[in-house]
Structure 1
Amino acid sequence: MPTQQAISTPPTPVPPPQQRRKGAGIRAWLVISASGNSHLEEVGKHLIMRRTGLPARDLRVLDPGLSYPSTILGRDRAIVVNLEHIKAIITATQIWVLNSKDPSVVPFVHDLECRVSNLNETRNATMEESPGVLDSRHSSQRFGRSTSGSPEAEMLETNGSGSLVYTGDMQVEGAVKVLPFELRVLEVCFESVCRSLEAETSTLEQEAYPALDELTSKTSTHNLQRARHIKSRLVALFGRVQKVRDEFENLLDDDMDMAEMYLTDKLFDLQVEEDASKKELEKDIDTFDLDNESGEDSQNNKSSSGRVTGFKPNVEELEMLLEAYFAQIGGTLNKLSALREYVDDTEDYINIMLDDKQNQLLQMGVLLSTATLLLNASIAVVALFGMNIKISLFKTGPAEFWETAIGTVVGSLALYFIAFYMGKKKGLLE
């Protein structure tokens, strides 16, 4: 009995690792730290959520496949920025930039790296001038509390910045105050967006005004097509600028949303609370000092910890930053509004010109209709003479024929001029 041959199925092709990663929603992010180091990292959505504490609905705002309007979201541990070409996540120590290889994003990344490097150089130079002396009054005033005499203030004065992850919001005594990392990054984002929109507006103005002037001088199909294309670009750009301006305005109107963006202060708050709770726990474990002085110190620590929580930071710095770029984006919007009014005026002028041309055509039609009517009357006379009937006029000589012909032409012209005069008198003709 012949044996049956086993049917071998071909193995399922395994996609390369890069395709598997792309299918799993892993994207390339450019990570720039507060120290100035930058590197590309391919991570997935879940890892981003764990590192930044963002929910999935906030990451959906940064999805390149979805068209979300300009949005700035402040969360507990991160800020989501979706402004025009910038799609980024800002934390207290890092910024994650999506599509960093995009030609429109490359200038922003370069500017951001330069700003962070300059910030580190400024901070290092300031620390070298006044080493070990930190002024915690700025941070205390931002939270609306006083830490003088508290263990946290003594820790800051003695230990410097060793207990903090990032001390960009601190101020060295006698030096210029430095903004925290997240505000510096937001400033670069705002500046890049405003500069990009301003450049697009200037380019559109340089193309629009000559094209509209040419359209008013010569109305042709080509010029009308150019004006239509310019108006489409103007409407799209106006909507984008308006959305960015509305986002700035919404942030300026809500102090709580601005307070959520002080990530360094919230991190400082959390670490101060942890340090206070550790000190309190150590004092509770200590069984050797149970006198009244120990009870008073524990009570002071509790009151200091209570002062840390429940206070919102002073949003004056972010408010001034937003007001500056709100005014700048407002100037861009005013330019687009002026260009939009110029386009509307040009459209009105073109419509008036077309109406005037239509009126001229109607008048020409009236004149031609009148001439046709009178010509038909002359043709009727000629047709009458051409009939094969006996008329006494046919027996006369050529003189009577020419008198009749010339009289018919002169009578037609006279009637034509009478009709033209009546038309001007009635206002039907110019």
Structure 2
Amino acid sequence: MDGTQQHRLHVEDEIGKWGVVHGQTRRKGTGTTRLWLIVTASGQSHLEEVEKHSVMRRTGLPNRDLRVLDPLLSYPSTILGREKAIVVNLEHIKAIITANEVLMINSSNPLMSQFVQDLQDRVSSPKDIPRQDNAEMEDEAGEKTVPFEFKALESCLESACRCLESETQTLEHEAYPALDELTSKISTMNLERVRQIKSRLVAISGRVQKVRDELEHLLDDDNDMAEMYLTEKLDHHSREQTSLAEETQNEIGEDDDNDDDDDDQSRMKEDGSKNDSESSINVEELEMLLEAYFAQIDGISQQLSNMTEYVDDTEDFINIMLDDKQNQLLQMGVMLSTANMVINAGIVVVGFFGMNITISLYDNGQPIQFWETTLGTIGGCIVFYLIALGWGKKKNLI
């Protein structure tokens, strides 16, 4: 067994152990303690029992953002950029991404094992760069390192898109043969199969549309994308702290009045430099990353749209066939009603001759007279029926 297989088995065993205790929370002090799976920037993973308030302090997230990740609550797909973290709720992935680690829950899902493995492989590889950004990852010194948060975010998007694409392809392989079979033979079993397929199609389409809308919302707002540059904001904050410390040392020995004026100026400079830094963040790198997965999710949405159109066309075709059958039944009903009317006319003649009365036809009656009367009645009914059918076809009633 090579190192990669051993590493994968270790991850799956760790995920499985966590899945056993997932959902179990304990009260510790005034908060709720939950078991989190943490993947660091070096690719190492471990389980850590963290209190909710500790997570809030650790990531800088408010309580309402942590509710988005609660597996007991149903929230739509969401990607939130905050000051110190990115909150990701996509399909089976519920994670908090910071500048140096990823905290995940809901790992009892089997799909999480593959996601964690992909995430570790991506962040542990120093040469790993987003495949969409090869042209822009170079600076004056050469090759630029991709921020950890972008690697983690790309892993989340890739895993979610792969999951949706797999379900879409599976549904396609089941839907088209079932719809074709229904058009060739309308039966209760085929109708039930198509009904179940349509229900799954509606559910998957809704999930894909939510992910698409979230990516589109991010692409339309540069400020939201700028919030996701966690490493750059962290570096900028460190540089500000260093610069402020140097300015403080240089100002030692000056008068108190001058100190007050210089403090005001330094605050103004700090605020101005902070605003300038936030406005000067180039979001092109993240924009290209999001656009690539937006195109992928848009392609999945188009596949589902085509499948929906095929289902609608099949339903229209089935309705036309059923309407045609209904028209045929109505025509048959008209013909049977006409035949019934003609037969009733013959019954009237038979009833007339069956009356217990004396008429000259009964005197000295011969068998030939009986047959003449019978055949004449039957022939008259047939002629009357044909005349009624001809009139109905002429009026387009049949």
Between the aligned partners of 1:301 and 1:410, the Cα distance in structure 2 is 115
> Structure 1 36/406 Cα, relative in aligned 2: closer, same or farther at 3 Å?
same
Tell me by how many angstroms 1:27 deviates: 2.3
* 1:75 and 2:82 correspond: yes
Between the aligned partners of 1:69 and 1:170, the Cα distance in structure 2 is 36
* 1:222 and 2:189 correspond: yes
Tell me by how many angstroms 1:309 deviates: 4.8
Identity %: 61
Q: Normalized against structure 2, the TM-score is what?
A: 0.84
Aligned to 2:355, the other structure's residue is in SS state coil
Partner residue of 1:21 out of 7, 21, 26: 26
Structure 1 runs (4+) greater than 3 angstroms displaced: 22-25, 169-172, 299-310
Give RMSD over aligned pairs: 2.5
CA contact (8 A) 1:171 1:178 kept: no
> Structure 1 393/382 Cα, relative in aligned 2: closer, same or farther at 3 Å?
same
- Specify the alignment match of 1:275 in structure 2: 242
- Specify the alignment match of 1:201 in structure 2: 168
The structure having more radius of gyration, on CA atoms, is 1
Between the aligned partners of 2:172 and 2:77, the Cα distance in structure 1 is 23
> Structure 1 404/302 Cα, relative in aligned 2: closer, same or farther at 3 Å?
closer
CA contact (8 A) 1:88 1:96 kept: yes
Partner residue of 1:359 out of 327, 341, 351: 327
> Structure 1 19/239 Cα, relative in aligned 2: closer, same or farther at 3 Å?
closer
- Specify the alignment match of 2:178 in structure 1: 211
Partner residue of 1:254 out of 209, 221, 224: 221
Partner residue of 2:276 out of 281, 304, 310: 310
Between the aligned partners of 1:122 and 1:88, the Cα distance in structure 2 is 21
Aligned pairs, number: 356
> Structure 1 172/387 Cα, relative in aligned 2: closer, same or farther at 3 Å?
same
Partner residue of 2:206 out of 236, 239, 245: 239
Between the aligned partners of 1:104 and 1:315, the Cα distance in structure 2 is 31
Q: Normalized against structure 1, the TM-score is what?
A: 0.78
Question: Structure 2 regions of 5+ residues with no counterpart?
Answer: 1-22, 130-135, 255-261
CA contact (8 A) 1:62 1:82 kept: yes
Between the aligned partners of 2:27 and 2:341, the Cα distance in structure 1 is 80
> Structure 1 389/118 Cα, relative in aligned 2: closer, same or farther at 3 Å?
same
Between the aligned partners of 1:107 and 1:271, the Cα distance in structure 2 is 35
Between the aligned partners of 1:178 and 1:374, the Cα distance in structure 2 is 94
Partner residue of 1:320 out of 281, 288, 294: 288
- Specify the alignment match of 1:342 in structure 2: 310
Aligned to 2:186, the other structure's residue is in SS state coil
Deviations 1:227-280 (A, max 9, x none): 111111111111111110110000000000000000001101110111111111
Letter in 1 for 2:189: H
> Structure 1 209/187 Cα, relative in aligned 2: closer, same or farther at 3 Å?
same
CA contact (8 A) 1:204 1:234 kept: yes
Letter in 2 for 1:21: R
> Structure 1 32/280 Cα, relative in aligned 2: closer, same or farther at 3 Å?
same
> Structure 1 285/407 Cα, relative in aligned 2: closer, same or farther at 3 Å?
same
Deviations 1:96-135 (A, max 9, x none): 011223202211111101111113x669xxxxxxxxxxxx
Tell me by how many angstroms 1:178 deviates: 2.1
> Structure 1 20/345 Cα, relative in aligned 2: closer, same or farther at 3 Å?
closer
Between the aligned partners of 1:241 and 1:193, the Cα distance in structure 2 is 10
Letter in 2 for 1:102: N
Question: Structure 1 regions of 5+ residues with no counterpart?
Answer: 1-17, 124-141, 143-168, 288-295
> Structure 1 179/20 Cα, relative in aligned 2: closer, same or farther at 3 Å?
closer
Partner residue of 2:369 out of 400, 416, 425: 400
Tell me by how many angstroms 1:307 deviates: 3.4
